[in-house]
Amino acid sequence: MCNIIIIHFISLVLIIVSIIQDKARPVFPFTAIVGQEEMKLALILNVIDPKIGGVMIMGDRGTGKSTTIRAIADLLPQIEIIEDDLFNSHPYDYELMSDSIKNKVENGEQLSTTFINVPMVDLPLGATEDRVCGTIDIEKALTEGIKTFEPGLLAKANRGILYVDEVNLLDDHLVDVLLDAAASGWNTVEREGISIRHPARFVLVGSGNPEEGELRPQLLDRFGMHAEIRTVKEPSLRVKIVEQRSKFDTNPYMCLKEFQEQQDELKNCIIEAQKRLSNVTIDYDLRVKISEVCGTLDVDGLRGDIVTNRAAKAFAAYNNKDQVDISDIKTVITLCLRHRLRKDPLETIDSGNKVRQVVDSILTE
């Protein structure tokens, strides 16, 4: 008993220290990132419409993948949740409530709310399925003799961003679990007589280096978008990137102050796009052309069609438009289809040339 209390105390101290460090540690501003427009656009579109299905970012080492992903999370406005809820339940949207909160709302209970930063959860490569999905709270089982649920990373990431670095090195079974939860928006856990179902609506972001291996085509297809990034070759841009990073490392708060206006402008643009998204429409003729492109490229299934439609709407909303046009589709379609052309696991992912050739022949002004 004494050992359990000591372990619990140490864990609590580590959590508090981690929270303090996270609050104290400044994040590199998103608008200060030079280049990598493809990756930045994919991330912005996914936070505007999480139903796009996440983004897979593949590129060389040291190209700012992790920095950019953490920067987009820091840019987003705070979200309102039910206070002390384990699953970041939304106070008004039934689809984003856990079952226990739904029951309380239906019973007319008054629930207090609070605002938190958008959750940004890192999934380590060595994580087990129990750590990801949740499991039995062993401590309570031993000390109180009751079975209770201990939430996993999917619960913590609800209504936020779940980031998996080196996703191509993650066990395929865990990748499947993540993609299933991201697609359905729910996580169901059956453990030792306990059955728990909770919302798991998050933007799944994976990154990796293609030299270390690709994901299987069946798993890769489940990501909504695929962004490729390459090391910047132009000397002047490389110097600018180094200067920005040095400036931030020397005085991060001064750097944040310098980019505060641009950060606020982009944040407001994202908020307005989220509000406008439901009113954006896409003509039937354009939807037919999207499907014609997918058919010509021999894309398996209909995910490519669905994701391209959603991404085009998100991009139109981002550009303050209520109607999708051909230029919106051309901007996003390569990101949505490039990774769906691979049939053989030994093949490499198309750089986008094949998609662009077909698009240019079908999508004419």
321 three-class SS: coil
307, 315, 312, 302: which is closest to 282 by C-alpha? 312
DSSP 108: T
Residue with tokens 């226990």: 100
What end-to-end distance do the CA atoms of the chain give, in Å?
Answer: 73
Cα dihedral sign, 88-180-62-351: negative
As given in the structure block, the two tokens for residue 234 are: 């132009």
Distance of alpha carbon 310 from alpha carbon 273, whole angstroms? 13
Distance of alpha carbon 215 from alpha carbon 57, whole angstroms? 12
How far, CA to CA in Å, does 26 sit from each of 29, 39, 191, 255, 283?
9, 22, 39, 10, 44
DSSP secondary structure, 138-180, as one string: HHHHHHT----EEE-HHHHTTTEEEEEETGGGS-HHHHHHHHH
Distance of alpha carbon 29 from alpha carbon 75, whole angstroms? 8
Beta-bridged to residue 208, according to DSSP, are: 58
Q: Judging by DSSP bridges, how do beta strands 120-122 and 160-165 pair with one another?
A: parallel
Distance of alpha carbon 312 from alpha carbon 324, whole angstroms? 7
HSE-CB of 245 using CA atoms within 13 angstroms: 12
Helix ranges (H only) for 36-114 are 37-48, 65-75, 99-106
Distance of alpha carbon 25 from alpha carbon 71, whole angstroms? 12
> Residue 188: what are its φ and ψ, rounded to 5°?
-115, 130
310 is catalytic: no
Q: One of 159, 303, 340, 342 is an active-site residue; which one?
A: 303
Which are the catalytic amino acids? 303
